[in-house]
Chains A and B, each alone.
Chain A
Amino acid sequence: NAGVTQTPKFQVLKTGQSMTLQCAQDMNHNSMYWYRQDPGMGLRLIYYSASEGTTDKGEVPNGYNVSRLNKREFSLRLESAAPSQTSVYFCASSARTGALTGELFFGEGSRLTVL
């Protein structure tokens, strides 16, 4: 009964380092998302994937890349981390059909600090 699992939960990076946030869902959802949460800004969409093999930019994509490895997994990569990328990152997934259409199921979040 895992739902959406994202790793790591916490990470501290130095400016210029790279890292990948991993996300996996076991609900057979087609759509997956990466959001970032900053104080006073709410959740802002970085990238999303409407299906395996497709990805699209969201509101704040600069400095990030994503990979939809398969239907279950959607990773977010920071190639050269900057202090402005200090944030809490959420992965989410959703179904396209059925009674729960549109509802996002979230992971527990990953707190990233860039020094």
Chain B
Amino acid sequence: AQTVTQSQPEMSVQEAETVTLSCTYDTSESDYYLFWYKQPPSRQMILVIRQEAYKQQNATENRFSVNFQKAAKSFSLKISDSQLGDAAMYFCAYRRGLSGFGNEKLTFGTGTRLTIIP
């Protein structure tokens, strides 16, 4: 079974600085998707960024980017120019890439709580 590990339960960063959240995963598959979800105090789960394993280029969405190291099975999230609204719980998630029933379900890590210091 696939596992996702987030080894940093809590992180903090000064406003406007850059922070990197770590995620590692374990899989024997070669085709898969990786995701970062954000959960602010409102509890809503919001997709931040996604990465397809077959793509070598790291995904970027505005101030959010990933460092995808397939061989090392590492998928870290970098937040640049941190803003107060970035304060949230961040979850890393994995999904198998093969189509078929049941492959769409995500396996989540335990999360990293990010605090932004004004």
Interface size bracket, B side: 20 to 34
Question: 29 pairs across A/B with beta carbons < 8 Å?
Answer: A31-B104, A35-B108, A40-B9, A40-B110, A41-B110, A42-B4, A42-B6, A42-B91, A42-B108, A42-B110, A43-B91, A44-B108, A45-B107, A48-B102, A48-B104, A48-B105, A51-B101, A54-B101, A90-B45, A92-B45, A96-B99, A101-B104, A102-B95, A102-B104, A103-B35, A103-B47, A106-B44, A108-B42, A109-B44
Nearest first, the 10 A-B pairs at minimum CB distance are: A50-B101, A106-B45, A42-B110, A43-B108, A42-B108, A102-B33, A109-B43, A31-B104, A102-B95, A94-B104
Q: Which residues of B contact A (CB under 8 A)?
A: 4, 6, 9, 33, 35, 42-45, 47, 50, 91, 93, 95, 99, 101-102, 104-111
